[in-house]
């Protein structure tokens, strides 16, 4: 703060400088630069030293301080140099009061000249008290800011003189559609429709003498939506501003509902008649429910349209009755405008339906509930679907657990046995047998890794519906075979469309054949061929694995060959298996019904 003085400021009582000097809570001293004697000091300065102002005037700092630290004399500025009107750098000194108490203070000084005489103005702050005050202020500000930001209703603080918004909480920004930075550069007219400007400015004049005011106002959101707001405002002073704090409660929906109710009950009755849900209306003065016709059509109750509250609670499942009744009574007794619950409601035949019940509570000026209107929606089907999905997920987890036990767990156990055998052979010095076991250990580990990748692939959703037959097989080769080090090739040539049913069956056959090659054939290469032309589709899967005797394997029902044949027979197809020990295996499938029903629907554009 630049306190450059005019000649009259030093001598004129009541001048601006005099008022600032003597009223300031900051300790201030005016001294002659020639001899360092105090010309004047304010009460804050005298109090800091523990002396009266009269004791200070005419005395030097050396007279008052056992240690000459407060402001050095002679001054650091040369006596004949021009006065520097700018504040000198702040420094920390020790100050000794009249009682001997030593305080740590922050000192700043400024040189001034008046009528040829030079003076120094010294400002002193008690760092101890300053730090305490800062800490308390910070704690207070943090508490206030936390309360301000966590309020669930929009809050604005605005300057009464300009209507500029000084602060807005997070909920205000969210509700009105602006960022808090944007709101800080706006005024209260910006959140109102233009036709409300004059009325608001007129209201501002009336508010100047009111500490508190409540009323319904019309506001406008960023997207142009006009809303009705119940405003409770309070007068306050903040950072020197004559301001107003306003708490906003959006009552648009409540007013709209009240208007519709005032327009007549016919509209509500119309809704009740055309919906299958149960519409209800509770009069809290009588605690009687008025149910719509849905109570009869949905749950079988005839002649129960107008019943007491106890009738409704008695039809809630016993396991949920007390809790639901308590939440409803609490909502009516509290200040909530809405209530919601999910529970089981007994039908006329004694079975229970799952319902989602939602109600809106109307209140009088004193906040007492006068009426509640709601709807009871039957969600039995949705609950059953969720339960079915949960059961399916549980079955899938159980299947996965079985597969893990049958494959990975068994493989890991075998690996551990072989590793232990190799360790013992190594200790015994049998190098050749040890190497043989290590080689077998590596082969078994590779096979286990392949089976694990297959298991992970099978646990994922199939890509068949999304990508078609060719895309699903390509995804399978990427996820399993290629990641296991097997060279995999896919060749596709489709001139005819394949139905969804045929694609599914062919994909299952392909999966079974690829699984056999992975698990049993020790193959390093696989080829998949898909062709369709002239009403015939062909799927061929070949590998370079160890091969086998087809006649012997088919008789034992091994390798899933019977299930492959059954799938093809359902579609009138032909299944061919070609294999010899040491020469690999080829599975070929042909379907001749593409011109029939299967080829005329559910086609996949990816397969054209």
Tell me the per-residue pLDDT of 113-125, one tens digit each, with 9 for 90 and over.
877 788 888 888 8
User: Does some domain include residue 505?
Assistant: yes
pLDDT per residue over 179-191, tens digit each?
999 999 999 999 9
Are 482 and 523 in contact, with CB atoms under 8 Å apart? no
Boundary residue ending a domain (206, 221, 250): 250
User: Does some domain include residue 225?
Assistant: yes
Task: Please state the separation of Cα 568 from the chain's center in Å.
Answer: 51
Are 478 and 509 in contact, with CB atoms under 8 Å apart? no
Mean pLDDT (whole number) for 3-32: 64
Determine how many CB atoms are found less than 10 A away from the CB of residue 439.
11
Residues 411, 524, single domain; the answer is: no
pLDDT per residue over 358-375, tens digit each?
999 999 988 999 999 998
Above 60 in pLDDT, residue 337? yes
Q: What is the pLDDT of residue 209?
A: 62
User: Does some domain include residue 136?
Assistant: no
With b for 16 or more beta-carbon neighbours within 10 A and e for fewer, the 584-597 pattern comes to bbbbbbebebbeee
> Most confidently modeled of 220-234, 290-304, 391-405?
220-234
Domain that residue 293 falls in: 256-378
- Residue 568 three-state SS: helix
Question: In the structure, what pLDDT confidence band is assigned to residue 67 with cuts at 50, 70 and 90?
Answer: very low
Residues 369, 407, single domain; the answer is: no
Q: Which region among 81-90, 308-317, 379-388, 572-581 has the lowest average model confidence (pLDDT)?
A: 81-90
Q: What is the pLDDT of residue 271?
A: 53
Residues 360, 268, single domain; the answer is: yes
User: Does some domain include residue 524?
Assistant: yes
Which comes out higher in pLDDT, residue 462 or 272? 462
Residues 479, 415, single domain; the answer is: no
- Would strands 525-533 and 487-494 be described as parallel, antiparallel, or unpaired? parallel
Residues 507, 558, single domain; the answer is: yes
Above 70 in pLDDT, residue 422? yes
Q: What's the number of domains the chain is made of? A: 5
Above 80 in pLDDT, residue 518? yes
Residues 195, 308, single domain; the answer is: no
Residues 208, 166, single domain; the answer is: yes
d(CA 540, CA 546): 18
Boundary residue ending a domain (454, 482, 505): 454
Mean pLDDT (whole number) for 439-456: 75
Residues 327, 406, single domain; the answer is: no
Q: What is the pLDDT of residue 71?
A: 47
User: Does some domain include residue 144?
Assistant: no
Residues 440, 477, single domain; the answer is: no
Share of the chain above pLDDT 90, in %: 25
Average pLDDT, the chain: 79
Above 90 in pLDDT, residue 297? no
Q: What is the pLDDT of residue 479?
A: 84
User: Does some domain include residue 554?
Assistant: yes
Mean pLDDT (whole number) for 331-349: 93
pLDDT per residue over 198-208, tens digit each?
888 888 888 76
Q: What is the pLDDT of residue 142?
A: 61
Above 90 in pLDDT, residue 172? yes
Q: What is the pLDDT of residue 605?
A: 37
Full DSSP string of 358-403: EEEEEE-TTS-EEEEEEEEEE-HHHHHHHHHHHHHHHHHHHHHHHH
SS3 of 72-115: the string is: CCCCCCCCCCCCCCCCCCCEEEEEECCCCCEEEEEEEEEEEEEC
Question: In the structure, what pLDDT confidence band is assigned to residue 601 with cuts at 50, 70 and 90?
Answer: very low
Residues 473, 570, single domain; the answer is: yes
Residues 343, 397, single domain; the answer is: no
CATH of the domain at 546: 3.30.565.10
Boundary residue ending a domain (234, 250, 266): 250
User: Does some domain include residue 2?
Assistant: no
Above 60 in pLDDT, residue 351? yes
Structure tokens at 47: 């109090």
User: Does some domain include residue 541?
Assistant: yes
CATH of the domain at 279: 3.30.450.20
Which comes out higher in pLDDT, residue 49 or 495? 49
Residues 178, 49, single domain; the answer is: no
Above 70 in pLDDT, residue 1? no
Of 70, 65, 133, 73, which is closest to residue 107 (Cα–Cα)?
70
pLDDT per residue over 532-554, tens digit each?
888 888 999 999 999 888 877 65
């Amino acid at each position: 703060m630049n306190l450059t003085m005019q000649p009259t400021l030093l001598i004129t009582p009541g001048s601006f400088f005099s008022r600032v000097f003597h009223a300031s809570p900051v300790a201030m001293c005016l001294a002659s630069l020639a001899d360092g004697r105090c010309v004047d000091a304010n009460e804050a300065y005298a109090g800091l030293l523990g002396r009266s102002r009269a004791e200070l005037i005419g005395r030097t700092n050396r007279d008052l301080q056992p240690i000459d630290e407060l402001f050095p004399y002679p001054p650091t500025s040369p006596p004949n140099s021009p006065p520097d009107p700018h504040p000198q750098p702040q420094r920390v000194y020790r100050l000794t009061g009249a009682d001997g108490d030593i305080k740590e203070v922050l000192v700043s000084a400024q040189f001034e000249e008046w009528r040829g005489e030079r003076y120094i103005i010294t400002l002193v702050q008690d760092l101890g008290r300053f730090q305490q005050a800062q800490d308390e202020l910070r704690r207070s500000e943090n508490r206030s800011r936390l309360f301000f930001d966590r309020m669930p209703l929009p809050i604005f603080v605005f300057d009464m003189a300009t209507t500029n918004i000084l602060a807005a909480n997070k909920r205000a920004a969210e509700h009105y559609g602006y960022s808090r930075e944007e709101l800080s550069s706006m005024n209260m007219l910006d959140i109102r429709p233009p036709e409300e400007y004059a009325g608001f400015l007129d209201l501002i004049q009336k508010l100047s003498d009111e500490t508190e005011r409540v009323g319904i106002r019309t506001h406008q959101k960023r997207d142009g939506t006009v809303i009705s707001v119940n405003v409770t405002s309070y007068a306050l002073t903040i950072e020197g501003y004559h301001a107003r704090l306003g708490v906003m409660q959006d009552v648009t929906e409540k007013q709209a509902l009240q208007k519709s109710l005032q327009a007549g009950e016919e509209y509500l009755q119309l809704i009740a008649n055309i919906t299958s849900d149960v519409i209800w209306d509770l009069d809290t003065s009588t605690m009687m429910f008025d149910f719509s016709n849905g109570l009869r059509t949905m749950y079988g109750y005839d002649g129960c349209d107008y019943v007491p509250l106890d009738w409704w609670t008695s039809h809630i499942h016993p396991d949920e009755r007390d809790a639901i009744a308590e939440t409803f009574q609490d909502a009516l007794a509290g200040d909530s405008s809405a209530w919601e619950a999910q529970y089981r409601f007994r039908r006329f035949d004694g079975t229970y339906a799952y319902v989602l019940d939602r109600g809106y509570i109307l209140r009088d000026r004193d906040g007492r509930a006068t009426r509640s209107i709601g709807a009871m929606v039957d969600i039995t089907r949705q609950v059953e679907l969720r339960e079915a999905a949960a059961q399916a997920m549980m079955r899938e987890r159980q299947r996965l657990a079985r597969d893990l036990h049958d494959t990975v767990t068994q493989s890991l156990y075998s690996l551990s046995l072989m590793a232990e055998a190799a360790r013992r052979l190594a200790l015994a010095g049998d190098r050749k047998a040890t190497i043989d076991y290590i080689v077998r250990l590596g082969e078994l580990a590779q096979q286990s890794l392949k089976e694990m990748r297959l298991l992970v692939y099978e646990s994922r959703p199939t890509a068949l519906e999304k990508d078609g037959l060719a895309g699903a097989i390509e995804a399978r080769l990427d996820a399993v075979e290629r990641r296991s080090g097997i060279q995999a090739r896919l060749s596709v040539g489709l001139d005819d469309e394949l139905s969804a049913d045929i694609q599914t069956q062919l994909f299952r056959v392909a999966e079974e054949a690829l699984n056999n090659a992975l698990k049993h054939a020790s193959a390093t290469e696989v080829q998949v061929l898909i062709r369709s032309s002239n009403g015939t589709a062909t799927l061929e899967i070949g590998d370079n694995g160890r091969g086998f005797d087809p006649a012997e394997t088919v008789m034992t029902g091994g390798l899933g060959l019977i299930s492959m044949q059954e799938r093809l027979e359902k579609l009138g197809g032909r299944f061919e298996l070609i294999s010899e020990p040491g020469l690999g295996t080829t599975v070929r499938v042909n379907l001749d019904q593409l011109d029939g029903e299967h080829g005329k629907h559910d086609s996949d554009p990816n397969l054209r």
